[in-house]
Amino acid sequence: MLRLFSLILLLAVAAPSWAQLPDSLAKQFAIGYAHYEKGDYEKALLAYQKAALPGYCSAELQNNLGLTYEKLGQYGPAVLAFERALFCQPQFGPAQANLKAISGKLSRPKAQEKSGFIFQTWDNMAAGLGSHFWAYSFLFFLFLAAGSLAYYLFVQQKKGKTWLLILLSLLLAFFSFMLSRRANYLQFNRQWAVVMSSEAAILDQPSIQGKEVELVGSGNKALILEEKEDWYYVRLPNAVQGWISAKLLEKVRS
């Protein structure tokens, strides 16, 4: 009777997150949650995996799956699950917090390139304000340049350094346009993958005979730039680029 009461209480607490799941998946979710709370992570993982059917997107389920992988010390699958939770629901707070927490446990790439800071700053500017902001900024500076040019050409007064305002407006319009395109790409088109192997070599060519340019550990993310047979050309967060075997990565958007 006590076990039945506990299960009913568990279902009531978890209901908001899995109420929309099909009955069979909701049952597996509840079983996984119960095993996780007891500390039986192997059984919890098995239940969550049964609930995580291909084609079904649940942020709560993927987040719980990630927590279970993390408890088992499998950081690659954990990061992948947290990333998939954010793909299902981009502003899902628990997955964001869990990704931040697990990042300190990952072995980071050894090489650090100064250009990585430039790329990261550019991406942060683009994604931080969004494509709409930069698109409106582009239009604003473009109209400002056009108005300044009209004033420079047709107003019969002392024009001072109007030409400087025209050049500055055109330059800012150009940067706004590029940032708008970058923000749009980061939001809709990029394909991230997570390293699943304990160690993965980044090579200078798509071949096992390639020279190693970087060594990354499980759980690290890579942006896929190109696909060639069984190889991906990727860029790491520190801006290092190279080829990696597709067998060592798992795409966030499968």
Reported as a single tens digit per residue, the pLDDT across 18-76 is: 445 566 678 888 999 999 999 999 999 999 998 887 777 888 999 999 999 999 999 88
Q: pLDDT-derived band of residue 175, with 50, 70 and 90 as boundaries?
A: very high
Return all residues near 162 (Cβ < 8 A) that are at least 6 apart. Answer: 148, 151, 152
Q: Both 35 and 54 in a single domain? A: yes
Is the pLDDT confidence value at 6 over 60? no
Does the global pTM surpass 0.85? no
Mean pLDDT calculated for residue range 153-171? 80
Is the pLDDT confidence value at 95 over 80? yes
Q: Which of 183, 194, 186 is nearest to 253 (CA)?
A: 194
Geometric angle at alpha carbon 234, from 125 and 191, rounded to 5°: 65
Boundary-marking domain end, from 139, 161, 188: 188
How high is the mean pLDDT of the chain? 81
The whole-number pLDDT of residue 190 equals 67
Boundary-marking domain end, from 49, 77, 105: 105
Boundary-marking domain end, from 74, 105, 136: 105
Is the pLDDT confidence value at 189 over 70? no
The whole-number pLDDT of residue 1 equals 46
pLDDT digits (tens, 9 = 90+) for 106-161: 766 655 444 556 666 777 788 777 788 999 999 999 999 999 888 888 875 666 67
Mean pLDDT calculated for residue range 217-229? 86
Q: Both 79 and 57 in a single domain? A: yes
State how many domains the chain has: 3
Q: Both 155 and 214 in a single domain? A: no
Q: Both 24 and 85 in a single domain? A: yes
Q: pLDDT-derived band of residue 2, with 50, 70 and 90 as boundaries?
A: very low
Provide the edge-to-edge strand list for the sheet that holds 249-251: 212-217, 199-203, 241-245, 231-235, 221-228, 192-195, 249-251
Q: Bridge partners of 214?
A: 202
Q: Both 10 and 99 in a single domain? A: yes
Q: Which of 23, 60, 21 is nearest to 68 (CA)?
A: 60
Q: Both 201 and 163 in a single domain? A: no
The CATH code of the domain that includes 26 is 1.25.40.10
The whole-number pLDDT of residue 65 equals 93
Q: Both 8 and 60 in a single domain? A: yes
Kindly report which listed range (88-97, 102-111, 121-130, 198-207) carries the lowest average pLDDT score. 102-111
More confident site: 204 or 183 = 204
Q: Both 25 and 99 in a single domain? A: yes
The CATH code of the domain that includes 208 is 2.30.30.40
**Residue 241: which domain range?**
192-251
Q: Both 60 and 100 in a single domain? A: yes
Q: Both 87 and 41 in a single domain? A: yes
Q: Both 30 and 67 in a single domain? A: yes
Geometric angle at alpha carbon 51, from 50 and 55, rounded to 5°: 105
